[in-house]
Amino acid sequence: MHFSIPETETRAGGDGGGAAYVLRKEYGTNVVPAFPPKKIFTLTPAEVEQRREQLEKYMQAVRQDPTLGGSETFNSFLRKAQQETQQIPTEEVVLEVLLSNGQRVKVTILTSDQTEDVLEAVASKLDLPDDLIGYFSLFLVRETKDGAFSFVRKLQEFELPYVSVTSLHNPEFRIILRKSYWDSSYDDDVMEHHVGLNLLYAQTVSDIEHGWILVNKEQHRQLKSLQEKVSKKEFIRLAQTLKYYGYLKFDPCVTDFPEKGCHVVVSAGNNELNFQVRLPSEQIKEGSFKVTRMRCWRVTSSVPMSNGPTGSSPGKSEVKLELAFEYLMSKDRLQWVTITSPQAIMLSICLQSMVDELMVKKSGGSIRKMFRRRANGALRRSDSQQAVKSPPLLDSPDASREPMAKLSSKLTSVSLRGISHSSSANDVGANDFHGNYAFEGIGDEDL
């Protein structure tokens, strides 16, 4: 979400500061992070952008705490802030949501409807049962030239999807419906109903077509044969055995592991972050970081100061986002690993949702109950339903994808020595970190 910051801020509090004050009074200063202080002087464009990033970071930090994130005070402030910032009145509109197969689902909503409301409207349009809604989420994506999608973020409960997508003023940004869980065993629940099965099948075909799931020629032949027989469940069962099934693939970015300046493709899934790293020597290595070995992580942002002459488009520098996590490399050695990527917030959201899912499973809970229905909100059923269309048969496998997997060698922590801690992970306050309740101590024999 985006906040509009005036160039001159004359009040020390404001609505955001007021909401933060109420939260800190209700939950205590040790729980609620300090609200970013305002300035009474005119801000430069670079400072305006920095201020906006500080506010978004604050919102992200508060949202990571389930108690604070569920606060009606906080959510009410955010709902108003989104509408007021974009000056969008409450009215009925038609919002277009994409499915993984490219199918467009149009739903009639209010501009003030939150993510839950829109998700319910889409589910109603597709005739998805109520108890399966919690298995799916809405994501803000950017469509690329090859028809694939670059993930911006998972839409949070407090967001107004219509405001979020229209405020970007760019038709490349879309909202897409995808499954929201990581453990493939939950596929069984989704496949119990034909609409859930069709959605999962469409997503699996799409992920294979875009190269997110690795498929060799023989596996491709088997999958296509199952498609021709319209054996959707068997198709998914076979896909579950393939590498990177259920992963989200991110855009190429930069990491400091195993050394600074390495180009990497990160994929999130199976309770891990998978790295395909291209070293300066052009050698490709692959390795995975388990979420249960991450002690904590944080997202930081910075606005590079322009070195150009005065008046040369100040504030146009892109904000640099970093995700840093502290990882248990061996029994007694923790090390910071940093990823520099515009998708750092989405990566953080993925980690948090993995931890949440692990904790629900550990406590014996059910993912079906993770979808919270507001007490005063009845599910609105659509007057007309829309069937999920079957995607076309798989194209011939892309031969250029196989060598990448074959060239990769395993990236092991024991063979990589002398790696310094990321400097960006130093000198930060405790409130900047997202603690990991699923963190587990391990021994060298487990590595």
Q: What is the pLDDT of residue 383?
A: 59
In this predicted structure, the answer to whether residue 168 has a pLDDT above a threshold of 60 is yes
In this predicted structure, the answer to whether residue 407 has a pLDDT above a threshold of 60 is no
- HEC readout, the chain: CCCCCCCECCCCCHHHHHHHHHHHHHHCCCCCCCCCCCCCCECCHHHHHHHHHHHHHHHHHHHCCHHHHCCHHHHHHHHHHHHHHHCCCCCEEEEEEECCCCCEEEEEEECCCCHHHHHHHHHHHHCCCHHHHHHEEEEEEEECCCCCEEEEEECCCCCCHHHHHHCCCCCCEEEEEEECCCCHHHHHHHCCCHHHHHHHHHHHHHHHHCCCCCCCHHHHHHHHHHHHCCCHHHHHHHHHCCCCCCCEECCCEEECCCCCCEEEEEEEECCEEEEEEECCCCCEEEEEEEHHHEEEEEEEEECCCCCCCCCCCCCCCCCEEEEEEEEEEECCEEEEEEEECCCHHHHHHHHHHHHHHHHHHHCCCCHHHHCCCCCCCCCCCCCCCCCCCCCCCCCCCCHHHHHHHHHCEECCHHHCCCCCCCHHHCCCCHHHCEECCCCCCCCHHHC
Out of 11-20, 170-179, 426-435, the most confident range is 170-179
* Mean pLDDT along residues 50-69: 65
* Mean pLDDT along residues 286-297: 94
62-77 burial, b for 16+ CB within 10 Å, e for fewer? Answer: bbbbeebeebebbbeb
Q: What is the pLDDT of residue 376?
A: 41
pTM: 0.78
In this predicted structure, the answer to whether residue 107 has a pLDDT above a threshold of 60 is yes
Bridge partners (DSSP) listed for residue 174: 141
Q: What is the pLDDT of residue 422?
A: 36
The CA angle 407-269-137, to the nearest 5 degrees, is: 140
Q: For residue range 127-141, what is the model confidence (pLDDT) as tens digits?
A: 999 999 999 999 999
Query: Is residue 262 within 8 Å of residue 278, measured between CB atoms?
Result: yes
Percent of the chain with pLDDT over 90: 49
Higher-scoring residue by pLDDT: 77, 197 = 197
Higher-scoring residue by pLDDT: 343, 36 = 343
Residue 198 to residues 126, 204, 362, 373, Cα–Cα distance (Å):
10, 10, 29, 24
In this predicted structure, the answer to whether residue 15 has a pLDDT above a threshold of 60 is no
Q: What is the pLDDT of residue 348?
A: 92
Q: What is the pLDDT of residue 447?
A: 43
The rounded mean pLDDT for the chain is 79
* Mean pLDDT along residues 103-125: 95
In this predicted structure, the answer to whether residue 116 has a pLDDT above a threshold of 70 is yes
Please name which of 373, 390, 364, 356 lies closest in space to residue 130, comparing C-alpha atoms: 373
Q: What is the pLDDT of residue 310?
A: 46
For residue 112 the two structure tokens come to: 């003030």
For residue 90 the two structure tokens come to: 């409450």
